[in-house]
Amino acid sequence: MDANSPQGSARRRFLCGTGALTTGLATSTGLSALPAVAADTRVASSPPPVGAARAVRLNVNGHDYDLMLEPRVTLLDALREYIGLFGTKKGCDRGQCGACTVLVNDRRINACLALAIAHVGDRIRTVEGLAEGSMLHPVQAAFIEHDGFQCGYCTPGQICSAVAMLAEARAGTVSAATADVRQTLPVELTDAEIRERMSGNICRCGAYVGIVAAVREAAKKA
Amino acid sequence: MRAFDYVQPATIDAAIKTLAERDTVCLAGGTNLLDLMKGNVEQPLRLVDITHLPLNEVEPLADGRMRIGALVRNSDLANHAAVRERYPLLSQALVAGASPQLRNMATVGGNLLQRTRCHYFTDVGFAACNKRKPGSGCAALEGPNRIHAIFGTSEHCIATNPSDMCVALAALDAEIEIRSASGTRRMPIGAFHRLPGTTPERDTELRHGELITAVSLPPSRFAAHSHYLKVRDRASYEFALVSVAMALDVDGDRVRDARIALGGVAPRPWRAHAAERALIGKRLDAATIAAAGRAAREGARPYRDNAFKVELAERAVARAASIAGGLS
């Protein structure tokens, strides 16, 4: 790990340590098997196998991570399996649940449908990067205050999604709940608006009442 | 997911040159392509990442048209001030689709090329799918087919086009700009998506080696009286059972012009010409609107589980006309 290791909780230090180890393993052995290459005496002139791993630098939560990744590695798998940031969750892995929501250049996206290699040079922020030291992000605090979860598996995605959603609402973006998109009025985050704007995050426990309450409160404080 | 190579060409010309090679496909937002690759429906050997190419501008043109770059993200397009003001129907359709996260990734060009969400197409466990494997048959004809098409099908394929954006573009007479090594060609959106016929494996008229560079919209007289209505199994983050893009040009109490396109019911955005004729020149009242709804049924051919879509389309057209016309 570089000299800029996050100075967070013990858990975060543990995760970062694990990340360094995972990264090392990934670099030396490759977590995904490469296609077998037939023995060839002219090795020097052979093209590399299709989809060979290559050097990829990702900036996550303000830190650069140098990884060896095959092009097919998703941003979600890079975060979890190569960097060791396990906060971002793999739910459906097909863009249907939102558990993998992260912020890329401050916009929320599904990390499961993004290739890590396509995000070189981007600012990636995960749930681990939201708190300021021991001070929780207001959205995190509101989720705890309002019991915005039961099992907690969708929670990192819900929280990242809510952080971006509040910024979108402040910027006056439209949603399917907007009465008239031609009018450029400030967005009023009614419960209907919160539900629509958070609809990209599924909670299988059905903790939506708490989630809406948490987002409503975070919106007031933002 | 099968291994593939990844290239990031620096120019549009370089991208087009690479796209002409075998087993090579374009990567933009990736929300549909990577999903299909994970399911082994698509197995390209090379992805050409075009997201860094300069195709992300929304430009109002001097002649009153609006040119939208193929890489403009769905969320940015929906929120563009000029789009909200001049083409609210498009903005509405965009935010009716997918989720905020997916709309932040998905592009205009990718949305035009979205593939069907027919279960038999997206799950390689089904042997019969003419779209995925030409000549293998169509499992949807015999299996559960509640979500399938009622217009424009053939005995080879009854899948629907899943896009919301394209339904609005069909009602707004959009034109697609396509580049290849031999130059630029343009085609109306009505000619872009294909009906399945005997070759359902080809969704669109885009040829291998071609790149969608932009969509352009003519000046619209519909901004004051348009509405996108989407009916689905849950309130959000779901594909349409039936959707309606309703665009009216109203003069006093008369309909001067109308464009109506339906989603979720056909292999391509479905222009309801008969329903348009039922409105044009008529007084905009309950009787006219009901007649337009009935006319929208024209040519419907339901299958075992989706006959409900015929009446749903009728009612959705009537309701969308009522809302767009300011009657409800």
Query: How close A32 gets to chain B, by Cα (Å)?
Result: 10
Which pLDDT belongs to residue B232?
98
For residue A130, give both structure tokens.
């939201």
Q: Greater confidence, A104 or A4? A: A104
By Cβ distance, the residue of A108, A113, A164 closest to B35 is A113
pLDDT of amino acid A44: 60
Tokens read off for B118 = 């027919």
Q: So what's the pLDDT on residue A75?
A: 98
Are the CB atoms for A82 and A22 separated by under 8 Å? yes
Give the mutation candidate from B74, B92, B99 for the A interface (greatest A CB count, under 10 A): B99
Q: Quote the CA–CA distance of A212 and A129 in Å, as a whole number.
A: 23
From chain B, pick out residues whose CB is under 8 angstroms from the CB of A119.
Answer: none
Nearest Cβ partner for A165 among B88, B96, B100: B100
The answer to whether the Cβ–Cβ distance between A199 and B236 falls below 8 Å is yes
Closest to A181 (Cβ–Cβ): which among B38, B91, B98? Answer: B91
User: Which residues on chain A are in Cβ contact (under 8 Å) with B110?
Assistant: none
Whether residue B273 contacts residue B251, with contact meaning beta carbons closer than 8 Å, is answered with: no
Residues of B in CB contact (< 8 Å) with A are 1-6, 8, 27, 30-31, 34-35, 37-39, 45, 47, 49, 51, 75, 78-79, 81, 84-85, 88, 91-92, 95-96, 98-102, 104-105, 223, 230, 235-237
Name the CATH architecture for the domain at A138-221: Orthogonal Bundle (1.10)
The rounded distance, in Å, linking the Cα atoms of A76 and B154 is 40
Q: Which value, in Å, is the radius of gyration of the alpha carbons in chain A? A: 20
* Whole-number pLDDT of residue A23: 43
User: How confident is the model at residue A48, as a pLDDT?
Assistant: 82
Decide: helix, strand or coil at residue B183.
Answer: strand
Q: What is the pLDDT of residue A202?
A: 98
Q: What is the CATH T-level fold of the domain A10-33+51-95+115-128, as seen in this structure?
A: Ubiquitin-like (UB roll) (3.10.20)
Helix (H) or strand (E) holding B95: helix B88-96
A1 has pLDDT over 60: no
A113 — contact with chain B (CB < 8 Å)?
A: yes
pLDDT at residue B126, as a whole number = 98
Name the CA dihedral angle for A29, A33, A35, A41, rounded to a multiple of 10 degrees.
20
From residue A173, give the alpha-carbon distance in Å to each of A163, A188, B77, B103: 14, 11, 11, 12
Per-residue pLDDT tens digits of chain B, which is 328 residues long: 999 999 999 999 999 999 999 999 999 999 999 999 999 999 999 999 999 999 999 999 999 999 999 999 999 999 999 999 999 999 999 999 999 999 999 999 999 999 999 999 999 999 999 999 999 999 999 999 999 999 999 999 999 999 999 999 999 999 999 999 999 999 999 999 999 999 999 999 999 999 999 999 999 999 999 999 999 999 999 999 999 999 999 999 999 999 999 999 999 999 999 999 999 999 999 999 999 999 999 999 999 999 999 999 999 999 999 999 999 8
Which chain B residue has its CA at the smallest distance from A32's CA?
Answer: B3
Residue A6 has pLDDT above 50, yes or no: no
| pLDDT at residue A47, as a whole number | 79
* CA-to-CA separations, B138 to A114, B141, B301, in angstroms, rounded: 31, 6, 16
Q: Where are the alpha helices (DSSP H) in chain A?
A: 10-29, 75-77, 138-145, 155-170, 191-197, 208-221
Q: How far apart are CA A82 and CA A24, in angstroms?
A: 8
CB B244 within 8 A of CB B143: no
Asked if the Cβ–Cβ distance from B30 to A118 is below 8 Å, we say yes
Give the pLDDT score at A43.
Answer: 54
Interface check A94 vs B, CB under 8 A: yes
Identify which has the larger pLDDT, A16 or B273: B273
Contact between B138 and B154 (Cβ < 8 Å): no
Residue A72 in contact with partner chain B when CB distance is under 8 A:
yes
Only one residue has tokens 């042997």, namely B127
Mean pLDDT of the region A7-22 = 42
Element (H, E) at A63: strand A63-69
Q: Count interface pairs A-B at CB distance under 8 A.
A: 122
Question: Which residue in this structure is represented by tokens 């592009």?
Answer: B107
CA angle at A213 for the pair A207 and A217, rounded to the nearest 5° = 145
Question: Which structure tokens are listed for A189?
Answer: 């985050």
Q: What are phi and psi of B312, to 5 degrees?
A: -60, -40
Q: Does A35 touch chain B (CB under 8 A)?
A: yes
Q: Provide the CATH topology of domain B223-324.
A: Enolase-like; domain 1 (3.30.390)
Among the listed residues A60, A49, A51, the one whose alpha carbon sits nearest the alpha carbon of residue A23: A60
Q: Which of A24-28, A60-64, B79-83 has the lowest mean pLDDT?
A: A24-28
Q: How far is A164 from chain B (nearest CA, A)?
A: 10
Cα angle, residue B17 at apex, residues A55 and B111 outer, rounded to 5° = 80
Domain boundaries, chain A: 10-33+51-95+115-128, 138-221
CB atoms within 10 A of CB B43: 13
Would you say A40 and A165 are in contact if contact means Cβ atoms under 8 Å apart?
A: no
The residue among B252, B254, B292 whose CA lies nearest residue B276 is: B292
Q: What's the start-to-end Cα distance of chain A, in Å?
A: 34
pLDDT of residue B130: 98
Do B99 and A200 touch, CB atoms closer than 8 A?
yes
Q: How far is Cα A112 from Cα A115, in angstroms, rounded to an integer? A: 8
Check CB contact under 8 Å for B105 and A114.
Answer: yes
Q: Judge whether residue A40 has pLDDT over 80.
A: no
Contact B255, B291 (CB under 8 A): no
d(CA B47, CA B24): 6
Residue-level pLDDT at A136: 98
Instruction: Assess A200–B contact: CB distance below 8 Å, yes or no.
Output: yes
